[in-house]
A = this chain, B = another copy of it.
Amino acid sequence: MVKLKAPSYLMLGMVRLGARSGYAIKKATDRSTRGFWPTSLAQVYPELGRLERAGLLRRSEDPRGARQRSVYEVTEQGEAALSNWLRSAREAPLQLRDEGLLKLFFADALPREDQLTLVRRQRERAQQAEQVIREEMIPLAEAQATTGARYPAIAAQLGADMYAYARRWFERLEQELTQAGQAYGRDR
């Protein structure tokens, strides 16, 4: 019995959504789950092998000309495993690392002017992240929605909305810093 973790289910789920080769899976994650679960080719190929040996994926050769190509489909066992995972209440704790937030946390060490610059930069980052999701991910996810998979678009929308909220939050903080001006900062 192999031990399955989130990346295993990511492969299973992606194959199920129609990304049949390792290369296609990597491309699909770059266009969809990258923001909350990135992956690299060096993870994809060994994991596909493991899942095949475990009987959760079935492999077949489907060359394109002289170029070899392995395509996968989810077996009944694989479907069951994915289903059980989706239904289970156990989840690895969310992990987040954001150097920008860390800087914000320590911003008291800066004079007020530089604090403002820092906050503005964080606002811009949130704005850009939102834009990438809206321009690159949502259109693709909505196209997918017409073929029956609604949740990729829902997840993308959640991401865009979260970044939009963060952007507004930083805007508000920017205003407060500008107005309350002289009251704060190292050089008050």
- Residues of chain B contacted by A106 (CB below 8 angstroms): 9, 13, 16-17, 82, 86, 151
- Counting every copy of the chain, the complex holds 2
Within 8 A of B (CB), among A144-169: 148-152, 154-155, 158, 161-162, 165-166, 169
The minimal Cβ–Cβ distance linking A123 to chain B, given in whole angstroms, is: 12
Tell me whether chain A's interface is mostly helix, strand or loop, or mixed: helix
List residues of A whose CB falls within 8 A of some B CB. 6, 9-10, 13, 16-17, 32-33, 35-38, 79, 82-83, 85-87, 89, 91-92, 94-110, 114, 117-118, 121, 125, 129, 148-152, 154-155, 158, 161-162, 165-166, 169, 173, 184
